[in-house]
Protein backbone atom coordinates (compact mmCIF):
# COMPACT_ATOMS: atom_id res chain seq x y z
CA UNK A 1 0.00 0.00 0.00
CA UNK A 2 1.39 3.40 -0.91
CA UNK A 3 0.88 6.12 1.63
CA UNK A 4 -0.68 9.48 1.07
CA UNK A 5 1.32 11.42 -1.51
CA UNK A 6 3.25 8.28 -2.48
CA UNK A 7 6.09 9.05 -0.04
CA UNK A 8 5.67 5.88 2.01
CA UNK A 9 5.24 2.25 1.09
CA UNK A 10 3.43 0.18 3.69
CA UNK A 11 4.11 -3.55 3.72
CA UNK A 12 2.24 -5.68 6.21
CA UNK A 13 1.82 -9.28 7.11
CA UNK A 14 -0.06 -11.07 9.84
CA UNK A 15 2.23 -9.93 12.66
CA UNK A 16 4.36 -6.98 11.45
CA UNK A 17 4.02 -3.72 9.59
CA UNK A 18 6.96 -2.16 7.74
CA UNK A 19 7.02 1.48 6.60
CA UNK A 20 9.49 2.18 3.79
CA UNK A 21 10.58 5.36 2.06
CA UNK A 22 9.11 4.82 -1.42
CA UNK A 23 12.05 6.47 -3.21
CA UNK A 24 14.96 4.82 -1.40
CA UNK A 25 13.33 1.64 -0.09
CA UNK A 26 14.89 2.34 3.31
CA UNK A 27 12.89 1.46 6.43
CA UNK A 28 11.24 4.29 8.36
CA UNK A 29 11.60 3.30 12.00
CA UNK A 30 11.50 -0.25 13.27
CA UNK A 31 8.95 -2.85 12.11
CA UNK A 32 5.73 -2.47 14.04
CA UNK A 33 4.65 -5.63 15.80
CA UNK A 34 0.95 -6.13 16.10
CA UNK A 35 -1.40 -8.77 17.29
CA UNK A 36 -2.70 -9.22 13.77
CA UNK A 37 -2.99 -6.42 11.22
CA UNK A 38 -6.44 -6.51 9.66
CA UNK A 39 -6.73 -3.17 7.91
CA UNK A 40 -4.79 0.00 7.14
CA UNK A 41 -5.86 3.52 6.24
CA UNK A 42 -4.17 6.92 5.99
CA UNK A 43 -5.72 10.09 7.35
CA UNK A 44 -6.71 12.48 4.53
CA UNK A 45 -3.73 14.73 5.29
CA UNK A 46 -1.29 11.78 5.36
CA UNK A 47 -0.07 12.60 8.86
CA UNK A 48 -1.38 9.43 10.52
CA UNK A 49 -1.73 5.77 9.60
CA UNK A 50 -4.51 3.81 11.29
CA UNK A 51 -4.19 0.04 11.75
CA UNK A 52 -7.03 -2.27 12.76
CA UNK A 53 -5.78 -5.05 15.02
CA UNK A 54 -7.08 -7.63 17.44
CA UNK A 55 -5.95 -5.24 20.23
CA UNK A 56 -7.90 -2.21 18.93
CA UNK A 57 -7.26 0.76 16.66
CA UNK A 58 -3.57 1.64 16.50
CA UNK A 59 -2.60 5.08 15.19
CA UNK A 60 0.93 5.39 13.80
CA UNK A 61 3.05 8.33 12.67
CA UNK A 62 4.17 7.20 9.16
CA UNK A 63 7.19 9.53 9.30
CA UNK A 64 8.69 7.85 12.37
CA UNK A 65 6.97 4.46 12.49
CA UNK A 66 6.02 5.11 16.13
CA UNK A 67 2.62 4.28 17.55
CA UNK A 68 0.97 7.49 18.77
CA UNK A 69 -2.26 6.04 20.15
CA UNK A 70 -3.97 2.72 20.77
CA UNK A 71 -7.73 2.81 21.17
CA UNK A 72 -9.11 -0.21 22.95
CA UNK A 73 -12.68 -0.83 23.88
CA UNK A 74 -14.36 -2.94 21.24
CA UNK A 75 -13.19 -6.14 22.90
CA UNK A 76 -13.18 -7.80 19.48
CA UNK A 77 -10.93 -8.01 16.43
CA UNK A 78 -11.22 -5.07 14.02
CA UNK A 79 -10.88 -5.36 10.25
CA UNK A 80 -11.79 -3.52 7.04
CA UNK A 81 -10.64 -0.09 8.19
CA UNK A 82 -11.69 3.13 6.42
CA UNK A 83 -11.21 6.82 7.28
CA UNK A 84 -13.78 9.18 5.76
CA UNK A 85 -12.51 11.56 3.07
CA UNK A 86 -13.04 14.55 5.38
CA UNK A 87 -11.20 12.81 8.23
CA UNK A 88 -14.15 13.13 10.60
CA UNK A 89 -14.87 9.42 11.08
CA UNK A 90 -13.04 6.10 11.14
CA UNK A 91 -14.99 2.88 10.65
CA UNK A 92 -13.92 -0.72 11.13
CA UNK A 93 -15.69 -4.02 10.88
CA UNK A 94 -16.00 -5.91 14.15
CA UNK A 95 -15.59 -9.67 14.21
CA UNK A 96 -18.06 -11.20 16.62
CA UNK A 97 -18.67 -14.85 17.39
CA UNK A 98 -22.23 -14.99 16.09
CA UNK A 99 -22.47 -11.90 13.88
CA UNK A 100 -20.33 -8.97 12.82
CA UNK A 101 -20.85 -5.27 13.12
CA UNK A 102 -19.26 -1.89 12.56
CA UNK A 103 -17.48 0.31 15.06
CA UNK A 104 -17.29 4.03 14.23
CA UNK A 105 -15.02 6.55 15.95
CA UNK A 106 -15.34 10.31 15.77
CA UNK A 107 -11.77 10.68 14.50
CA UNK A 108 -11.85 14.44 14.41
CA UNK A 109 -12.79 14.62 18.10
CA UNK A 110 -10.23 12.00 19.14
CA UNK A 111 -7.21 13.15 17.14
CA UNK A 112 -8.14 16.56 15.80
CA UNK A 113 -8.00 15.15 12.27
CA UNK A 114 -9.47 16.91 9.31
CA UNK A 115 -8.55 17.12 5.66
CA UNK A 116 -6.43 20.25 6.23
CA UNK A 117 -5.20 19.52 9.77
CA UNK A 118 -1.75 18.18 10.56
CA UNK A 119 -2.12 17.92 14.33
CA UNK A 120 -3.33 15.15 16.54
CA UNK A 121 -5.12 15.42 19.86
CA UNK A 122 -5.53 12.31 22.03
CA UNK A 123 -8.03 13.98 24.39
CA UNK A 124 -11.20 13.28 22.41
CA UNK A 125 -13.93 10.78 23.10
CA UNK A 126 -14.86 7.60 21.33
CA UNK A 127 -18.20 7.56 19.49
CATH number assigned to the domain comprising residue 30: 2.120.10.30
- Within a domain: residue 120? no
Q: Is residue 104 part of a domain?
A: yes
Q: To the nearest whole percent, how much of the chain has pLDDT over 90? A: 2
Tell me the whole-structure pTM to 2 decimals.
Answer: 0.71
Quick check: is 8 in a domain?
yes
- C-alpha torsion angle, residues 15, 19, 20, 26 (rounded to 10): -80
Least confident of 34-38, 103-107, 122-126: 122-126
User: What is the per-residue DSSP string for 32-88?
Assistant: EE-S-EEEEEE-TTSS-EEEEESS-EEEEETTTTEEEEEE--S-S-EEEEEE-TTSS
Select the more confidently predicted residue: 13 or 28: 28
Answer yes or no: is pLDDT of 124 > 50.
no
Classify residue 116: in a domain, yes or no: no
Residue 5 and residue 46: Cα distance in Å, rounded?
7
Distance CA 121, CA 101 (A): 27
Average pLDDT over residues 47-67: 82
105 within some domain: yes
Would 118 be classed as within a structural domain?
no
CB 16, CB 50: distance < 8 Å? no
Q: What mean pLDDT is predicted for residues 45-55?
A: 80
Q: Which domain holds residue 20?
A: 4-111
> How many domains does the chain contain in total?
1
- Identify the pLDDT of residue 13: 67
Predicted confidence at residue 97, as pLDDT, reads 59
In a domain, 121, yes or no: no
d(CA 34, CA 108): 24
- Comparing 98 with 48, the larger pLDDT belongs to 48
Residue 126 lies in a domain: no
Amino acid sequence: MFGWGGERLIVHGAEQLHILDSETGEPVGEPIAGSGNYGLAFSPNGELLAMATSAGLSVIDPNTGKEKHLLRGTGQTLFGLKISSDGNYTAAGVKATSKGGIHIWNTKAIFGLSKDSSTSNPKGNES
